[in-house]
Structure 1
Amino acid sequence: MRWKGRRQSSNIEDRRGRGGARRAGPAFGRGGGLRLPTGGKSGGGISMIVILIIGYVVLKYLGIDPAVLLTQGGIEPRIEHVQRQNSERLSPQRQDEMTQFVATVLAETEDTWNRLFSVSGVDYSEPTLVLFEGRVSSACGFASLASGPFYCPSDQKIYIDLAFYDQLANRFKASGDFAQAYVVAHEVGHHVQNLIGVLPEFNRRRASMSQSEQNRMSVRVELQADCLAGIWAHYTEEKGLIEQGDLQEALTAAHQIGDDTLQLQTRGYVVPESFNHGTSEQRKRWFLRGFESGRVDACDTFSGDV
């Protein structure tokens, strides 16, 4: 991915080290960077009608209102039995480079979703990305590196320990900067779902669902976030930032964090009824759907089979 020298988001909160939380301001990165073009392939704008239609389908599915679970912690894949080892601590140089990278990717998602929301006359509320090390406290509870990156709708913040990226590459064989970008874009996808009402509604209704119903609905929510991440990749390609091999890196990452693949790696067997993120094949397919269409209405995971 061609990311160096581009605008970096100021919506970064750094909680690493002993200095406590500190917020990165505009000096965090260089100014400039291209905005997304007003025109594009596949009619990429979001209209309020489309958002309402998606919301209606969500409300209608199974006669209950969906969205995503998130009362405690995050909804991202729980990488079981993963602990931080001394060898996994990132060097200061690596930390600095990765910080600049995620700030740049976050800025690119801001460009994408600001543009798409503005088409329908709606302001996009940009999320904050929190960098932490080891453990972190969020409005959704405590989390750790073992939890993986996650989004908390209660404070509209994305949380990530950058050491996760080395685990993604070394333990789960999903390397490359676009695989890392996919992770950020997926979490931003959850933020978009929060803004359009998908996450709040499921949280409101999940108490009346059985565990199997919650799992099935969670899969649909996660796959929609993958599709929304694909929309970001669609416009990133239009800007000429995707290099050869980038798309495959994202698809590999989507495959490696599928429920079936993770369970095989950590347990040695799969329990389909416990899936709450989607299979590897589903995650790849829905990311590609967003990438190929560039349209939010193509990301309706709540109608029919997924």
Structure 2
Amino acid sequence: MTQQYGPQQQYPSPWGGQQQPQGWNRPQQSFGQPAWPQQPGGYPQGGRYQQPGGYQQVPTRQPGGYPQRPGYQQPGQFNRAPQGLNPLSRILVTLVVLCGVLLAAIVVANMLGGSQGTSPQPQDTWSPPPPDLDPPDLPEPKTYSEATEWLQKNKVYDQQVAVPTACPDLQPIDAVNASESQLNAHLQDLTSCLVRVWQTPMQKAGFLMPRPPAAAYSQPIQTACGKLDDLKNAVYCGADQRIYYGMELPRIFSPSLRTSRFLMEMVLAHEFGHAIQYRTGIGISSMAWEQKATTKAAANVYSRRLEMQADCMAGIWVNSVGDSQGLSNSDLDALKQIAYNIGDDVLTGKQNIDEGHGLGATRQKWFETGLNANGDIGQCNTYTARDSQVR
């Protein structure tokens, strides 16, 4: 559906007349823009969407608990000196016992004091929440003034992502050749890791961060946002707060890039960035202003701010888990190149095209901003950046 521009009502519901979900490899929608349902009369305020017919059930396999680190045994007890020995023997035995006690004390002291190579590590007690199949409603601003406040001074900008963060269950996968079941299993570990990184800063900012269900699809599927028939696509659907991953997505890249380490993870981190935006009110506020725009060019600026912020948030997550995942400098360079290759100009071959996702160099710049932010979410505030910085 073509986006309409022009005068709006006093405060338009940001759900009416939304675009169909579009593949992120298309010029308009690289890295699938958040999709919304085409509902006559707009989005039902505070309503729930029923699971549509033909919807592929999202796997609910929860990653297994994180393995406990090896514990330390208490030092063994020393036997008392045998009775009935002569005085000299008793003295020698006593000295041996004292030496043993002293040695045990040294061992215990080293263990408790954290000597190199033998100190016990804190146990990982975090466990991921299950995918939320019935998440709370998304926050909506009541006025344009409040929408601007949420965009430019959102509380999440004051928060910090922990760096580094370890995700032991997240293992490498060949996303090009993996089966649908393998991809779905990997998606569960991946969303678990994404929640692990983002849950604490979101909670500190006062926001809920339910874990979005995620599913890979190998054939067209019906969703609350409409039908997804592009298998080279990844979409965050705001109507059901779920993420969808088309199995052929890596194949839009050249052979040298499609097998890049962490390509699938980077895509999902971008889509999870949209989930963060909509849980914090940024997404709906941005769409409200986008719909209020009187020209396509003005609307595109808001669309690009939304997309490039998700690029930046993806960079923050990659930086947080990069060390524990063993990402090399060459791996990161490939991800930067991927960010460049999804620019509107690169995808269309039209230099300086004015579309809704941004130029390749600008998208790469915002992804790198996230990589270099050391977890500072405020570095991803695209809504106070100049228009030229989100071109």
Quickly name the TM-score band, shorter chain normalised.
Answer: 0.5 to 0.7
1:59 shift after superposition: 6.1
Equivalent residue number for residue 227 of structure 2: 142
Q: Secondary structure at the match of 2:58?
A: strand
**Within-5 A mapping of 1:150-161:** 150-161=235-246
For 1:22, the equivalent position in structure 2 comes to 57
1:115 match: 200
For residues 220 and 203 of structure 1, do their structure 2 counterparts lie closer, same or farther at Cα, with a shift above 3 Å needed? closer
In the alignment, is the contact (CA less than 8 A) between 1:174 and 1:249 conserved in 2?
no
Q: 1:245 is paired with a residue of what secondary structure?
A: helix
2:220 touches 2:231 (CA, 8 Å); kept in 1? no
Structure with greater helix percent:
1
2:240 is paired with a residue of what secondary structure?
A: coil
> How many percent identity over aligned positions?
22
Matched letter for residue 360 of structure 2: S
Match of 2:50 in 1: none
How far is the alpha carbon of 1:238 from its aligned partner? 4.9
SS in structure 1 of the partner of residue 348 of structure 2: helix
In the other structure, the counterpart of 1:15 is none
For residues 40-71 of structure 1, give each alpha carbon's deviation from its aligned partner in whole angstroms, at most 9, with x where no partner exists. Answer: xxxxxxxxxxxxx99627369xxxxxxxxxxx
Pick from 356, 359, 379: which aligns with 1:276? 356
- 5 Å-filtered alignment, 1:10-89, equals 21-26=56-61, 29-32=63-66, 56=149, 58=151
Structure 2 partner of 1:292: 372
| 1:136 Cα offset (Å) | 2.2
Q: TM-score, normalised by structure 1?
A: 0.68
Structure 1 pair 213–189 and aligned structure 2 pair: CA distance change class (3 A): same
Q: Which runs of 5+ in 1 are unaligned?
A: 1-17, 37-52, 61-89
Find out whether 1:163 has 2:231 as its counterpart: no
Q: Determine helix, strand or coil for the equivalent of 1:127.
A: coil
Partner of 1:246: 331
User: Deviations 1:239-292 (Å, cap 9, x if unpaired)?
Assistant: 45434532122112111111110011xxxx34622x211111111111111111
> Structure 1 residues 168 and 104 mapped into 2: Cα distance closer, same or farther (>3 Å)?
farther
Asked whether the 8 Å contact 2:231–2:248 carries over to 1, the reply is: no
Unaligned runs of 5+ in 2: 1-52, 68-123, 127-145, 154-175
Counterpart for residue 228 of structure 1: 313
- Matched residue SS, 2:327: coil
- Partners of 2:193 and 2:327 in 1: CA distance: 12
Counterpart residue number, 2:134:
none
Residue 301 (str. 1) matches residue 385 (str. 2): no
CA distance in 2, matches of 1:225, 1:97: 26
Q: CA deviation at 1:150?
A: 1.2
8 A Cα contact 1:194 1:200, kept in partner: yes
Could you tell me whether the CA contact under 8 Å between 1:219 and 1:278 is conserved in 2? yes
Structure 2 Cα separation of the partners of residues 35 and 223 of structure 1: 34
- The TM-score, its normalising length taken from structure 2, stands at 0.54
SS in 2 for 1:137: strand
Deviations 1:57-97 (A, max 9, x none): 7369xxxxxxxxxxxxxxxxxxxxxxxxxxxxx76x54344
Aligned to 2:217: 132
RMSD: 3.1
Selected match of 1:205 from 289, 298, 306: 289
CA distance in 2, matches of 1:300, 1:216: 14
Q: Which amino acid aligns with 2:215?
A: V
Please tell me whether the aligned partners of residues 182 and 229 of structure 1 are also in contact (alpha carbons under 8 angstroms). Answer: yes
One-letter code aligned to 1:292: N
Q: Which has more radius of gyration?
A: 2
Q: Across the two proteins, how many residue pairs are aligned to each other?
A: 237
